[in-house]
Amino acid sequence: MNKSIRLALMLLAATGVASTQYSLAGDVVSLRGHAAPDEETKAPPQKPWRKDGEPLPRDYVQQPPLIPHKIKGYKINLKFNKCLTCHSWANYREAGATKISQTHFEDRDKNVLANVSARRYFCTQCHVPQANARPLVENTFKPIEAISGK
Amino acid sequence: MADNDTKQCTGFISCLWNALKRPSVHYSLGVLLLAGFVAGILFWGGFNWAMEMTNNEQFCISCHEMRDNVYQEYQDTVHYSNRTGVRATCPDCHVPKEWVHKVVRKIQATNELYHKVMGTIDTREKFEANRLELARHVWKTMKKTDSRECRNCHDYDSMDFTEQGRRAVAQHSKGLEEGKTCIDCHKGIAHSLPDLREVDPSAVVGSK
């Protein structure tokens, strides 16, 4: 094979790769749609949060339980954690809330502390409220029956 | 008699007293009554008007202590902006509606003028350092008055429990039974909570 043919083949292959990439990129739509960056886009409607309800069943082992109520305006900072004013061990009975797990009192070396561990303090890192929204990407996930009962 | 009084009149006050004691010579009873009515309306109206001038949000946030701290936090809450557009401003929650209670509160507020002059909370740091104490004052007052100002809008009698969420029904029914008042549970709903370390250590990281 001479040099020019080899070069031509390489060019052809490169164009092929480039065009597949181009068509793949064409399927991906960013949140702002196909609008140019300087155009105004229509914001999608906000999903209403699930206001209040029974605790939601877990779908898999070690899933952080979901928050079955709205948490709008609930703050978590160094001065207080709004969630813990109901869910702490001192308050859950009075509030009729689920108490935080015993695991939340352990530091990363498994030392048991007197109060909630700093690494477990920011509840919404793992626990999230719910809105009735369709999955962004279709998937075939099924909850584990032994956990969820579904 | 009148001559005697005039003779006894020495100072301003005794002269005024003598004049007030004597029946009117120049004006008819009708004119005096009418003048009295008009003056009454002007003074009473003026008093209430002046009091109302100090009873609106613009007046409250004319102090930077209020504008830069509590007012900013309040703007994030449901009492400022919500679905139906009903808004509760500062005096709706912090000044009683009934006249007597309102005047008592206004007299108490003169203490706030003293602290304004002394600069007790004139920086963010000072405000934060005093926040727990300030909050406790409001909590104590609301507890004492059975959350009277809340109930101007939120009345148990007009609350439809069937329209409320699961948690709200449970807690409100329990609260009603136990004779609790709004502020017992609803703390920090219009402003940020203070550091809860002293109040509820279980809700603050690092406290024991």
- CA distances (Å), origin A75, targets A94, B77, B184: 20, 12, 19
User: Are the CB atoms for B79 and B88 separated by under 8 Å?
Assistant: yes
For residue B130, the distance in angstroms to the closest alpha carbon of chain A comes to 14
Residues of B in contact with A93 (CB under 8 A): none
- β partners of residue B43: none
B2 — pLDDT class (breaks 50, 70, 90): very low
pLDDT at B151: 94
Note the pLDDT tens digit of each residue in B132-162: 999 999 999 999 999 999 999 999 889 999 9
Distance CA B175, CA B170 (A): 9
Query: Is A14 a member of any domain?
Result: no
Query: Looking at per-residue confidence, does B132 or B20 come out higher?
Result: B132
Q: Where is average pLDDT lowest: A9-13, A57-61, A69-73, B113-117?
A: A9-13
Query: Is A35 a member of any domain?
Result: no
Q: B171–A79: do the CB atoms touch at under 8 Å?
A: no
Q: Residue A76 phi/psi, 5° resolution?
A: -130, 110
Residue A51 structural domain: 47-150
What's the whole-number mean pLDDT along residues B77-98?
95
- Residue A47 above 70 pLDDT? yes
Tell me whether A98 touches chain B (CB under 8 Å): no
pLDDT at B165: 87
Distance CA A112, CA B151 (A): 45
- The ipTM of this complex is 0.79
Query: Is A90 a member of any domain?
Result: yes
Query: Is B202 a member of any domain?
Result: no
Q: Could you give the number of structural domains in chain B?
A: 1
pTM for the predicted model, two decimal places:
0.79
CATH number, position A54? 1.10.1130.10
pLDDT at A90: 95
Q: B202–A115: do the CB atoms touch at under 8 Å?
A: yes
Residue B173 structural domain: 62-188
